[in-house]
Amino acid sequence: MSIRSLLGLDTRAERYTYGLDPVAGYVSTQKIPDRWVATTCGYCSVGCGMFVGVKDGRAVSVRGNPDHPVNRGNLCPKGLSEHHTIDASNRARQPLLKRDGRFTPIGWDTALTTMAEAFRRVQAEHGPDSVGVISTGQLVTEEFYALGKLVQLGLGTRSFDGNTTLCMSTAVAGYKGSFGSDGPPGAYEDLERADVILLIGANIADNHPILCRRLQANPGTTLIVVDPRVTKTAMMADLHLPIRPRADLALLNGLIHIIIERGLVDHDYVDRHTTGFDALKESVREYTPARVAETTGLDPGLLYETAAIYSTANAAFIAWTMGVNHSTKGTETVNAINNLALITGNIGRAGAAPFSITGQCNAMGTREAGFASSLPGYRKFESAEDREALAGIWNVPVERVPAARGLAYPDIIEAALERRIRALWIIATNPVVSFPNLGALTQALEGLDFLVVQDGFHPTPTSEFADLVLPAAIWGEKEGTYTNSERRVSKVNRAVEPPGEARPDFNIFLDVASALGVKEELFPGWSVPRDAFEEWKRVSAGRLCDYSGMTYEVIEEQGGIQWPYPAGATDPAATRRLYTDGVFQTADGRARLIPVTWEPFPEQPTGEFPLVLNTGRTVEHWHTRTKTANVPILERLSPHAWAEMNPRDARGLHLKAQDSVDIVSRRGRIRDIELRVTETVAPGQIFVPFHYAEANANQVTQSAFDPVSREPNYKQSAVRVERSCPSGGLGASLWRRSERP
Amino acid sequence: MSLPLLTRTNSADARFVLTPRVRALGPSVAERMPGRVPGAGEQYRFHFDMGRCIGCKSCVVACNEQNGNPAAINWRRVDEIEGGWFPNTTRAYLSMGCNHCVDPTCLSGCPVDAYTKDAATGIVRHSADTCIGCQYCTWNCSYGVPQYNPERGVVGKCDMCHGRLEHGQAPACVAACPEGAIAIEIVKTADWRAAVAAAVPGLGVAVSDGSLSTTRVTMPATLPPNSRPLHLTNVRPAEPHWPLVVMTVLTQLSVGAFASIWLLQLLGGSAHLGAAALTALLVAGLALNASTLHLGRPIHAYRALKMWKRSWLSREVLLFTMFSGVAALYSAVLWFDVPGGVILGGLTSTIGIAGVTASACIYRVVSRPAWNTPYTLLQFNVTAAVLGPLLAAAVNATLGAGIGEGAGAGVGDDLGGNVGDASVRWLALAAAAMAGAQLVLIALRFFRLIAAGRIELQGTARLLSTTLRPHFVVRGVLLALGGIVLPLLAQGALLLWAALVVALAGEIVGRYLFFVSVVPKHMATPYLELGSEAA
């Protein structure tokens, strides 16, 4: 501090002046940009349109796009402060190679050669699939498409998956099973047009607040929320069903049982557009209201009421998120949701859809561009016809196109543990915070011969393990498209230059292709994301996710276009829904009603671990906080993790609000976390947000995965809560001792 | 949308119809603006719809972006309340900027007149140029609205985006709220005053003090009876304000010392009153210098005298300035043994005690429940009564002993020496008695905190019992040792000085605890009180 400011002669008044921006209005001068760059928010899958304000080459402000059909100018607190992520102090700025345990800056050329040599060496010794690649839903579709091609055709490994397996793969698997293809059938507009909305395991008030606004625009709807916690969303509901943890599948089967028993089935729809009704009817026979009431902890009357409200609606909408997906029975639960929608004909109409609200900004793009759970354009690995079509477009021999899916994310980690995978390339994701059962993961990472972490940030808990760190551009520094939950393809634009030597992921992929000697074969003449987009349009042409009628320019003009938008399509502003004709992507064109069975969750509470741990999110933070921990205002609003416990349990454990506690499972311990005592969680359960590396919830979660989608069962871990070792000195320990009975 | 019709129900069983909670359509930003300027007798105000807010805090982020404030300063804040029992639990959120009161206490308490109430709009504005960073308004506002910006050395606050309103634009929070929960309205202040005075139900105003907040809050249709502010997220020690710790304790020491000297003089006097007075004067000088270090803009300290007609802080500054002036005169009179000292001594003591009282009044604020009690005034004065006599006694004992040793045994036996010994004895006894009283006050205050129903007072008790327990124990021990044990044992100057130093340390720790253990009033508390009154 200068003498002048110590004396009070200088109040830094120049920093606190205001001026008039022609668009944003009267605002702090610091925030007035030279120009506004239109783009799409890079956090969640709602896909809000926004502008980034750029001043002297720096992103200084953002504002919602008032004309964007998704958000009409609104942004959540993360979006409103998103420009701060770009200036974060922990941005990765140059390639780093670990030598003798220390990161040393190296040039890009050395980095790329080192990486290509290391991967080729490992593959030569241990086979092509011994190099694993874990990507992300954070990339633009162009990048994801290029990466898939590079990995599957160039690097030649099938050990390729993304962090989308930690959030959305269950929805993918469920949709594929029921409808023959991935692709959420509804649109956000359905939230405004449904007369019944059933939210299952979805706390949209915290996690998708801009969608919440749609509910307000639909005052007459009946909102039913199924959640074991009294979330902010549950509090908005007309009817909250506080089911026991993981009783969702039993509830859905129970509702179907009542609907069939009461003759509320839309037989016309079922007969014309589905198969398997008899088997479904048989399978739900045992899900009597009495039994389901016992499993879910709900009153049988509530079950009847819910079944009646849902099945008699003119248009009923079901949306779900992680409460359903993070489960070993997730895929089956999605099938049950689809069953419920199908037997009541609530699909393919305005206001009626079983709708998965996606997680990341471009999780949907990764699903379309594929290469992990399916081939690009929702093509099937097992279909020779699909493979030939792709080989034709790419001008490669059909044998180069993989004929079976490789390892999924958890299986890649397991293979690394078993040393079947020796090298790993992790792109824009942070498994050391986000992957379940941390101990197993770190053991896997430590056992690798070579780990490349490509990220916009360094250090991150994951990049610390890396042998090579590749600095990447992030949102705001690169161009491409994102697809949101309602299949709306929106444009993402570069507002500022990446810091230091960081490069857009797209350029890094092309550079790696060059280093591997496959650039000209796979990406002939490519230099910008538009090159990938043009090829992707051809790949998607004629598929469910048809982009062939889109151009960057029209996407931008319209605030995004929902697919399918085939060549020749004329109205980009139209709201699109899938399956409006009742024809599905199965061989016979009929949706499949799939009998599914409820089972108790795998790790039941015991005397030693008597509580059920549920994990989730808070509105201020995104994923593992690599971004939001560097946004000062978000850190200010939610600076540390906490555990929520019902007062009855707290009394039993002689714990009080603000006590520091440890959460212990069979696998590990979350240390020193603040206890919050609240009636929003049921007795016998606790809740911890999963964002915080310092109080990593995945130290206690389990290695249990859905058999189809391979998504982790993050929820329902058996734990106990202990008072943390006193850290407040003698006085505190005396006090704590005296508190004990 | 109409009710879900039982169009396909083929049974006649219609008991499943559920009446949806009416979810009013979210108004557009334009609908949340008044569309005209206030007329005569009217002003702008915020309306906040608690039932609509989902606690997303977009308003907080938008406010900080609008004003370019650092993250630690939030002119708009969101607090949570929770009620009910699982699974019938309700949480509600209160988002608050400035309440743009009709009679704002930030304005009336400001020693430099940095606040104005805009005649045309009723917006309470703050001038960073005028502000000296004394931070009194951050306590004196019952809602915790003004916030100190250490980077600038001045306070700042929500001005309802005055500049945006001027340009016909919605304030940042109004524009950013995705749920349309914040709006600007126009209120006729006379009607509002009358309605609040008549306690018309459903006004949605928090009555914290006489400031008459203009914000109208629409409470949720139902709030469970056990609704309470949710986890005071930050029950952590507050700012210590070290310059104020030093300033308040030392001014009290000085005032106590002058009062003791004056009483001794009245009772027949010791030989060394002049030396004691000079020492006490030195202490006062130190204290006043320390106080300027608390200001964000010490160079403008003199401005604090300006608003003595209405600001307790101005009065404190004025009284202590007068105190040191009169005390200097008094000291000179004693030193040079000029007659007329008794009157000056009385004046010094009276002004000094008035100054200590003014200090205490600064902390009698609604926003800090742990300060807003009679204990504050009592304890400030008792601090003076413990430390003052000890200082006078220590100086007396030192000089008494010095003269005795230096001039030989014969002189030591003279009357002055005996009077000195007796005075020292009486002073030590008085200090011990006052220290005993202080211990009783500390205990009473603590038990009152523990037994309190208010969460803020419970929070203070919790801090004193946990994080601050070691300090709290040390504070008591120092007081007992320095204030009671040593003075009662004291036979010589050294022990008396030791007693003074230990007791002073005890009072400093005590004052530190006074500042750090205070838990600001939870923003939503007044609204819950409102709710319970209505219910």
Q: What are the DSSP calls for B320-355, one per residue?
A: HHHHHHHHHHHHHHHHTT-TTHHHHHHHHHHHHHHH
- Residue B141 tokens read as 């506002």
Quote the radius of gyration of chain B (alpha carbons, Å). Answer: 29
**Domains by residue range for chain A, with CATH:** 3-86 (2.20.25.90), 96-167+361-527 (3.40.50.740), 171-356 (3.40.228.10), 611-739 (2.40.40.20)
Closest chain B residue to the Cα of A345, Cα to Cα: B8
CA B271 to chain centre: 42
- Topology of B242-516 in CATH? Formate dehydrogenase/DMSO reductase fold (1.20.1630)
Q: What is the DSSP string of B209-255?
A: STT----EEE--S---TT-EE---TT-S-----HHHHHHHHHHHHHH
Q: What is the DSSP string of A572-595?
A: TTS---S-TTS--SSTTS-EEP--
Contact A222 B56 (CB under 8 A): no
Distance between B113 CA and the closest CA of chain A, angstroms: 17
Quote the radius of gyration of chain A (alpha carbons, Å). Answer: 26
Helix-, strand-, coil-residue percentages of chain B, each rounded to 5: 55, 10, 40
CB contacts, 8 Å: B6 with chain A: 308, 312
Contact A304 B16 (CB under 8 A): yes
- For residues A61 and A39, what is the distance between their CA atoms, to the nearest angstrom? 13
**CB-closest option in B13, B151, B179 to A213:** B179
CB contacts, 8 Å: A81 with chain B: 61, 65
CB contacts, 8 Å: B22 with chain A: 219
Report the phi/psi class of residue A630: left, alpha or beta, with left for phi > 0 and alpha for psi in -120 to 50. alpha
pLDDT of amino acid B410:
36
pLDDT of amino acid A448:
97
The structure tokens 């604090």 sit at B304
Nearest to B128 by CA among A712, A268, A9, A252: A9
Residue B343 phi, psi dihedral angles, 5° rounding: -70, -45
Contact B169 A76 (CB under 8 A): no
CB contacts, 8 Å: A29 with chain B: 68
What DSSP designation does A357 have? P
- For residues A303 and A116, what is the distance between their CA atoms, to the nearest angstrom? 58
**CB-closest option in B66, B154, B161 to A11:** B154
Contact A312 B9 (CB under 8 A): yes
Contact A679 B296 (CB under 8 A): no
- For residues A233 and A205, what is the distance between their CA atoms, to the nearest angstrom? 5
CB contacts, 8 Å: B24 with chain A: 216, 219
Distance between B454 CA and the closest CA of chain A, angstroms: 15
**CB-closest option in A9, A676, A735 to B231:** A676
Asked if B462 is an interface residue toward chain A (Cβ–Cβ < 8 A), one would say: yes
Contact A212 B178 (CB under 8 A): yes
Contact B176 A81 (CB under 8 A): no
Contact B16 A20 (CB under 8 A): no
CB contacts, 8 Å: A313 with chain B: 4
- Residue A502 tokens read as 């960081």
pLDDT of amino acid A737:
39
- For residues B279 and B365, what is the distance between their CA atoms, to the nearest angstrom? 33
Give the H or E element holding residue A6. Answer: helix A3-7
Upstream peptide bond of B87 is cis (omega within 30 degrees of 0): yes
**Between the CA of residue A460 and those of A90, A244, A457, B110, B155, what are the distances in Å?**
8, 36, 6, 47, 37
Give the three-state DSSP class for B45. Answer: strand
- CATH entry 3.30.70.20 includes domain B30-230: yes
Contact B152 A26 (CB under 8 A): no
**pLDDT under 70 in chain A at which residues?**
726-741
Give the three-state DSSP class for A252. Answer: helix
Distance between A616 CA and the closest CA of chain B, angstroms: 16
Asked if B298 is an interface residue toward chain A (Cβ–Cβ < 8 A), one would say: yes
Contact B61 A77 (CB under 8 A): yes
Contact A634 B61 (CB under 8 A): yes
Closest chain A residue to the Cα of B2, Cα to Cα: A220
Instruction: Give the global pTM.
Output: 0.92
**CB-closest option in B25, B61, B87 to A217:** B25
Closest chain B residue to the Cα of A304, Cα to Cα: B16
- Residues counted in chain A: 741
**Between the CA of residue A74 and those of A619, B74, B176, B335, what are the distances in Å?**
15, 20, 6, 74
pLDDT of amino acid B418:
52
Closest chain B residue to the Cα of A71, Cα to Cα: B178
Summarize pLDDT for A378-433 with one digit per residue, the tens: 999 999 999 999 999 999 999 999 999 999 999 999 999 999 999 999 999 999 99
pLDDT of amino acid B402:
43
**CB-closest option in B64, B235, B298 to A658:** B235
Query: Can you give the residue ranges of every domain in chain B?
Result: 30-230, 242-516
Contact A219 B68 (CB under 8 A): no
Q: What is the DSSP string of B131-161?
A: -----HHHHHSTT---EEETTTTEEE---TT
Distance between B464 CA and the closest CA of chain A, angstroms: 10
- For residues B531 and B535, what is the distance between their CA atoms, to the nearest angstrom? 6
* Mean pLDDT of successive 10-residue stretches along chain B, which has 535 residues: 34 40 60 92 95 93 97 95 92 94 95 96 96 95 94 96 94 94 96 88 76 91 82 75 96 96 83 89 94 94 93 96 96 88 94 97 93 96 96 88 39 44 86 96 94 86 90 96 91 90 97 95 75 35
pLDDT of amino acid B158:
98
